[in-house]
Amino acid sequence: MKPLKINDERLNKLGITNVIELALIKPKEWEDNNLYPFITSYPQAFEAEVLDIKKTSKVVRVKFYLKNIQTIMWGVFFVFKKWHEITFQIGKTLFIRGEVRNNSIIQPKPINKVGEITPIYKTSINQKSLKALIKKYVTLENLSILPNKIAHTLFFMHFPRSFEDINEKKINYALKWAEIFNYLLKLQTKKKTFPANPIKSDPTPFINSLPFNLTNDQLKAIKDIQEDISKPIQARRVIIGDVGSGKTIVMLATAFMAKKSIIMCPTSILANQIYQEAKKFLKHKKITLVTQNSKFSEEEIKTSDLLIGTHALLYQDLPKVDIIMVDEQHRFGTNQRAKLEKLVSNGKVLPHYFQFSATPIPRTQALILSSFVKVSLIKELPFKKDIETKIIDKSDFKELISHIQKEISKNNQIVIVYPLIEESQNYGYQSLEEGKNFWLKHFDKVYVTHGKDKNKEEILMKFREDGNILVTTTVIEVGISLERLTTIVIVGAERLGLATLHQLRGRVGRYGQKGYCFLYTKDKNNKRLQAFAKTLDGFKIAELDLEFRKSGDLLDGKMQSGEKFKYFDEVKDISILEEVKKYLTYSNPLN
């Protein structure tokens, strides 16, 4: 199922490579040159006899008898050149086109043909050439890959028969439909299948051995993975779970089903945490931690059932494995991921591959992504989070300090997140370097770190064991689990994307205790922050984030919307996307 390819240099330069993309060029307007027996609200054609001409210093007026509406009307010319004089001679009958305003035709122009609607395009290719290309390629037969209704709407948008064919509402729907259809088709061509060893394994003994019940979403993700690995085709699946939704247990269930597997994490803190959980729940597996600071031997790497590590894994002589899991894949480069896959495969047969991400995405994007890889969403949380989100400014600072003192007295921990490490004149908020002295002066057991700090992981570990306050940047966004962390203060909150704010807030109250998130801002009426404060659901926040970015919300002074589509709207057109997905599945049962 592929649209007709177009190899034309002029079109290819415009990014048009197939017939659907060519059909998606919407005319900027249409000239309706039908002769109607009445006056319309838009420019129209007339059969006109010239009766008289009157000239003044400002305008030239030509008196016409309009045969198709049987009316005498003046044409008003603000520009009347030599060729106009030759064209508009008394007694001559010709076809003209113009808009009627206040019972006059404004600047009418002569036309050669009537009885047709002509599209007018605005592209870098001239009208004549573009129309010839559209005539050559955009045929109903070439568009037959699309549903009949969509194909006909697009075809007759270019070759209209009547006014009904240029109905904006109908055309816009077809353009959205065809655009997302074309995009999904392209994604599907990127889907490649590779052979893999099928694994017939039952995760039930592992699930039954756990001292707690898994959520329905966790069980569904494990079942998806079980089905994936039972086939002789390499599984490629993304498991997306909200902060604290229990993705680690899904990883461990996957490792339980494999003879040999690897989990690669972006930081040694994360690798360490997963390693501790694995030792607790996979007692019969031989597990080795592979980070820059961990101790392991070549023998342990070869004989282990499960290797958990950072990119340090890439520098070892790794054994062949059944399954690779990558946590927070976006933090690794494409080359790193490919290298890992190569290191652990035996050439022709590849390991099954699973990505885990704690960044919830909107339903639209999940549906789009599922055309490329399989997707499992873990939306349920093992327990209901109790986090209060408050938007504060400098007038609330005393109250904030009092809250921090109270939490420290309960042996709870606080994180203060600054937007920048060093001073910036354009930012309007203190940087970490400017703000840290206040906390160091007024509180005990204050730790300071940031993304560029080589010792950040060591400092985070020290803070976990002994600290009261951690002063940091968004380095804390993904990483360490802090059992005593109940409060996070985010400085200049309106400067951060909602997804980042959600990740930061997700650090608090991870063990069921009451949590607090303070959004420190100079704009308490910020609509994004107000919407964010009302929900803890990461998937709803992802929808909000998309909505605000689509409306051109300015973050850091830059447009962050990253428009992917010209017509299709990722916020409003979810129903069209669902229709297209159904059509693709129905038309291509092998998908």
Q: Classify residue 440 by burial, with Cβ atoms within 10 Å: 0-12, 13-18, 19+.
A: middle
Of the candidates 389, 401, 406, 392, the one whose C-alpha atom is nearest the C-alpha of residue 517 is: 389
Average confidence score pLDDT of the chain: 89
Express each pLDDT in 70-101 by its tens digit: 999 999 999 999 999 999 999 999 999 999 99
**Global pTM value:** 0.77
Contact in structure between 408 and 535 (CB atoms under 8 Å): no
> Among the listed ranges 40-44, 236-240, 407-411, which one has the minimum average pLDDT value?
40-44
All residues at 6 or more sequence positions from 132 whose CB lies less than 8 Å from its CB, including other chains:
none
Question: Angle 386-391-395 (CA atoms, 0-180°, nearest 5)?
Answer: 130
**163 vs 251 pLDDT, higher one:** 251
Q: What is the mean pLDDT of residues 555-560?
A: 34
Both structure tokens of 274 = 């997963």
Overall CATH class of domain 44-110: mainly beta
All residues at 6 or more sequence positions from 463 whose CB lies less than 8 Å from its CB, including other chains:
413, 447, 470, 482
- Predicted confidence band of residue 173 (pLDDT cuts 50, 70, 90): very high
Which strands, in side-by-side order, build the sheet including 387-392? 387-392, 515-520, 485-491, 413-417, 469-472, 446-448
> Among the listed ranges 8-12, 400-404, 503-507, 510-514, which one has the minimum average pLDDT value?
510-514
Express each pLDDT in 369-394 by its tens digit: 888 889 999 998 888 889 999 999 99
Helix then strand then coil, % of the chain, to nearest 5: 40, 20, 40
Q: What is the spatial distance between Cα 485 and Cα 474, in angstroms, rounded to a whole number?
A: 16
- 387-559 is classed in which CATH architecture? 3-Layer(aba) Sandwich (3.40)
Q: H or E segment at 249?
A: helix 247-257
All residues at 6 or more sequence positions from 458 whose CB lies less than 8 Å from its CB, including other chains:
none
Contact in structure between 278 and 227 (CB atoms under 8 Å): no
- Predicted confidence band of residue 461 (pLDDT cuts 50, 70, 90): confident
Beta strands at 117-120 and 29-32: parallel, antiparallel or unpaired: antiparallel
Of the candidates 23, 75, 30, the one whose C-alpha atom is nearest the C-alpha of residue 53 is: 75
Express each pLDDT in 514-526 by its tens digit: 999 999 999 899 9
Contact in structure between 154 and 3 (CB atoms under 8 Å): no
Residues of the chain with CATH 3.40.50.300: 204-378, 387-559
Give the right CATH number for 204-378 from 3.40.50.300, 1.20.58.1910, 3.40.50.2300, 3.40.50.20.
3.40.50.300
Task: Using the predicted structure, report yes or no on whether residue 563 has a pLDDT greater than 60.
Answer: no
Contact in structure between 321 and 330 (CB atoms under 8 Å): no
Task: Using the predicted structure, report yes or no on whether residue 406 has a pLDDT greater than 50.
Answer: yes
Cα 53–chain centre separation: 61
Residues of the chain with CATH 2.40.50.1010: 44-110
Residues of the chain with pLDDT > 90, as a percent, come to 63
Of the candidates 278, 237, 280, the one whose C-alpha atom is nearest the C-alpha of residue 261 is: 278
- Predicted confidence band of residue 347 (pLDDT cuts 50, 70, 90): confident
